[in-house]
Amino acid sequence: MGTEIRDFMEYMRGEKKASQNTLVSYERDLNQMADYLEEKGITAVSKVTRTSLNSYILYLERSGKAPTTISRIMASMRAFFHYELRQGSLRRDPTELLKTPRIERKTPGILSVDEVERLLAQPGDATPKEIRDKAMLELLYATGLRVSELIGLKMSDVNLPIGFVTCRDGDRERTVPFGRTAKQALVRYLEQARGQLLKGEQMPELFVNCSGKSMSRQGFWKIIKYYGKQAGIEADITPHTLRHSFAAHLISGGADMQAVQTMLGHTDAATTQMYAAYAVKEQDSLRRTYQGAHPRR
C-alpha cells in the first residue's frame, strides 16, 4: 500500500496544494493504518473493507486515542480512499459508512483582557530579540493568526500603510487587518531589530530568529510561554491561546460573527460559534456586577 500512499501524497502536494501540516498528518496517519492492515494480512488497497477499517478504529479506541485524534485519522483515511476510488483502484469506498466518534466541543482556553495586556507588556526594548518578540505577540493578538501562519509570513505579505497581512493555508488565502499598536510594534521591529538579527543575510520571512534564520513553531512556543510566566499568568499559554482570545474578545465587544469567521479562516461557522459562550459569560458577569452594585438596580 506504500506506493498508493506515496502517489496520494504527491496528489495532495501538487494538485490540492495542501499545507505542510496537512501533508505531515496525512502521511503519518495513512502509514500507521497501512502498518496495522499489513499485520492483518491486508496489503492491497482493493482488499480493504469497511470491516477491516472498523477493526482499526476499534484498535485506536482501545489504545486510548482521543476522539479528536481518531476523527482526524478518519479524515485522512476518507481522503485517501476517495482518491483511490476515483483512480479506479476500488469498486466501493470502504469509508462510506464509517461513523465518526462524537466529539464534545470544549470552550477553548481564553485569557482575560487584563491578562493579555500583562502578557503584551512583558517584552522590553533593550535588544533586537525583545523588539521582535513584542512585534510578534502584538501581531498575533491583533490578527488571530495561527502560529504556522505567523512564522510563515513573508515581507511581501505585510501592507503597513493600509494595515493588513495576507496569510496562506495550502491553496487558501485571506487578508486580516491589524491596528495601530501592532503597526507601531512592526515598524519598530523593521527599523531597529530585523536588520541586526539578519546579520547581513537576506531572508524573505518577516520574522527571523537570533541566527537570522526562519523562526520555528517550537521557538515561538518557548517565547510565549516565557512571557506568560513573566506576566504571572497561571493558565497554560500557547500561541493558540492568543488566537482564541482575539476571537472571543472581538465577539464579546460586539463584532459580527461572520466577520470573525472570515478573519480566523474558519470554513465551518460552528467552529467560530464556540466563542459566543465566552461573550455570554462576560455579559452575565457584568450583569451580576451591576445588580450587586448599582443603587437603582
Strand partners, 167: 174
pLDDT at 155: 95
pLDDT at 278 exceeding the cut of 70: no
Range in 17-26, 29-38, 223-232 with the lowest mean pLDDT: 17-26
pLDDT at 179: 92
Cβ-in-10-Å burial (0-12, 13-18, 19+) of 144 comes to buried
pLDDT at 101 exceeding the cut of 60: yes
Return d(Cα 129, Cα 234) in angstroms, integer.
24
Q: 523588539: which residue's cell?
A: 131
pTM recorded for the entire structure = 0.62
In terms of Cα–Cα distance, which of 113, 126, 85, 44 is closest to 252?
113
Range in 43-52, 89-98, 132-141, 282-291 with the lowest mean pLDDT: 282-291
- In the chain, pLDDT over 90 holds for what percent of residues? 57
Return d(Cα 167, Cα 179) in angstroms, integer.
17
Torsion of CA 209, 212, 216, 222, to 10 degrees: -20
Neighbours of 255 (CB within 10 A): 15
The model's pLDDT over 181-226, given as tens digits with 9 standing for 90+, comes to: 999 999 999 999 999 999 888 999 999 999 999 999 899 999 999 9
Neighbours of 215 (CB within 10 A): 21
Return d(Cα 227, Cα 195) in angstroms, integer.
24
Grid coordinates belonging to 56: 482499526
pLDDT at 170 exceeding the cut of 90: no
Domains and CATH numbers, the chain: 2-87 (1.10.150.130), 113-287 (1.10.443.10)
pLDDT at 294 exceeding the cut of 80: no
pLDDT at 10: 94
Q: Give the residue-averaged pLDDT of 67-86.
A: 91
Cβ atoms of 20 and 6 within 8 Å: the answer is: no
pLDDT at 74: 92
DSSP label of 278: H
pLDDT at 132 exceeding the cut of 70: yes
pLDDT at 240 exceeding the cut of 60: yes
Grid coordinates belonging to 62: 482501545
Q: Give the residue-averaged pLDDT of 225-246.
A: 89
